[in-house]
Amino acid sequence: MTVILTACTMRKRFSPDPALIAASLSKGSLHSVGQDWRNRVAEAVGIAEARNVYAGRGMMEAKKAAAEAGASLFIASAGLGLVDASDVIPSYDLTVAKGLPSSIMSKLPLGTTEEGWWGEIATKEGIDRMEAQLRRDQALLLVALSANYLKMLGGCLKALSAFKEGRLRLFTGSEQNEIDPELKPYQMPYDRRLDGGPAPGTLGDFAQRALRHFVIGILPISPTQDAKGHAQQVTLAQAGWKRPVSKSGIRLDDDELLKTIRTEWDTVQGSSTRLLRKMRDELGIACEQGRFARLAATVRAERAQP
């Protein structure tokens, strides 16, 4: 049996509940901000199953991987804690990514960590549900997370039976030095050759694309391998792939990029992934992923205003 854990996405299929917008919170201590947010979540009404609230290629790849592996899917949410993909949840606007209008980190005292925030909003019930399944089925836990989410969930992952018993496999686009040394032995060594191989995409969905390749190409032929054996299989699989050739593009300042994003927004129905791809491939504009995410979030917040 297999359990998959992935991260929530900034893109939602539904407008956020007006009470669940991080920008509307007052600054305060970790506990006071956490309590305010928890109270708001408790009063909010669920709008759809979690699997249908989150949008974007990363979530699509995780859902496909879960379906192909016959796996349970859990989602780590910066706003709701750990949720089952079938849980009915409200839509919200909160992230731990710094520099964005919806970043909860801007509301917390200097020095507060992502893991500290997770401790405020992750309920024991949500974690226990996943842990119960991991123990009952002696399941392999496949975790696809970005750098921010690895920082946020590091302690949580190390407390799980799957970590202690060697049943953890980790997928991320983060650099090696960003990963907790205790988690590194479980990281599957996918690198940028994946982008030039069977699953091209962006850094934002790298972890989920690597996860899906593992589910399709590695796990079926080596279901009982330990982490070291699985890592060797990944290395062998990548031997025939080549890193994509970087393309240079037009450089724009933030104001010019914002203008372009506003102009092109409706042509992609507000899809950040499609818009970034259009800017790079069709418009010939160079834009780093994190910078684009920050500016796109600004435009999304503008358009959400009544």
pLDDT digits (tens, 9 = 90+) for 17-58: 999 999 999 999 999 999 999 999 999 999 999 999 999 889
The mean pLDDT of 71-98, rounded to a whole number, is 95
Q: Look at residue 176 and tell me whether its pLDDT is greater than 70.
A: no
Q: Look at residue 305 and tell me whether its pLDDT is greater than 80.
A: no
Return the domain boundaries, the chain.
2-238, 250-304
Q: Look at residue 200 and tell me whether its pLDDT is greater than 90.
A: no
> Which pLDDT belongs to residue 266?
83
Q: How far apart are CA 297 and CA 190, in angstroms?
A: 29
CA atoms in the 13 A half-sphere facing the CB of 181 = 0
Number of neighbours of residue 105 by Cβ within 10 angstroms: 21
Q: Look at residue 175 and tell me whether its pLDDT is greater than 80.
A: no
How far is residue 96 from each of residues 9, 22, 51, 116, measured CA to CA in Å?
A: 11, 10, 20, 11
| Residue 245, C-beta contacts closer than 8 angstroms, at least 6 positions apart | none
Poorest-pLDDT segment among 68-72, 87-91, 222-226, 244-248 = 244-248
Indicate the Cα dihedral angle 172, 174, 180, 185, nearest 10°: 50
| Residue 254, C-beta contacts closer than 8 angstroms, at least 6 positions apart | 291, 295
Backbone angles phi, psi at 22, to 5 degrees: -55, -35
SS3 state of residue 263: helix
> Which pLDDT belongs to residue 177?
58
> Which pLDDT belongs to residue 199?
86
The residues that bridge with 12 in the sheet, in sequence order, are: 54
Backbone angles phi, psi at 187, to 5 degrees: -80, 130
What is the CA 303 to chain-centroid distance, rounded? 23
Residues listed for the chain: 306
The residues that bridge with 251 in the sheet, in sequence order, are: 286
Average per-residue pLDDT in the chain? 90
> Which pLDDT belongs to residue 248?
64
Do residues 210 and 192 make contact, with C-beta atoms less than 8 angstroms apart?
no
Do residues 104 and 94 make contact, with C-beta atoms less than 8 angstroms apart?
yes
Element (H, E) at 298: helix 289-304
Q: Look at residue 143 and tell me whether its pLDDT is greater than 70.
A: yes
Q: Look at residue 188 and tell me whether its pLDDT is greater than 90.
A: yes
The residues that bridge with 187 in the sheet, in sequence order, are: 170
Q: What band does 302 get if pLDDT is binned at 50, 70 and 90?
A: confident
The mean pLDDT of 69-95, rounded to a whole number, is 96
The residues that bridge with 250 in the sheet, in sequence order, are: 285
The mean pLDDT of 137-141, rounded to a whole number, is 92
SS3 state of residue 287: coil
pLDDT digits (tens, 9 = 90+) for 218-254: 999 999 999 999 999 999 999 989 887 666 677 888 8
> Which pLDDT belongs to residue 249?
74
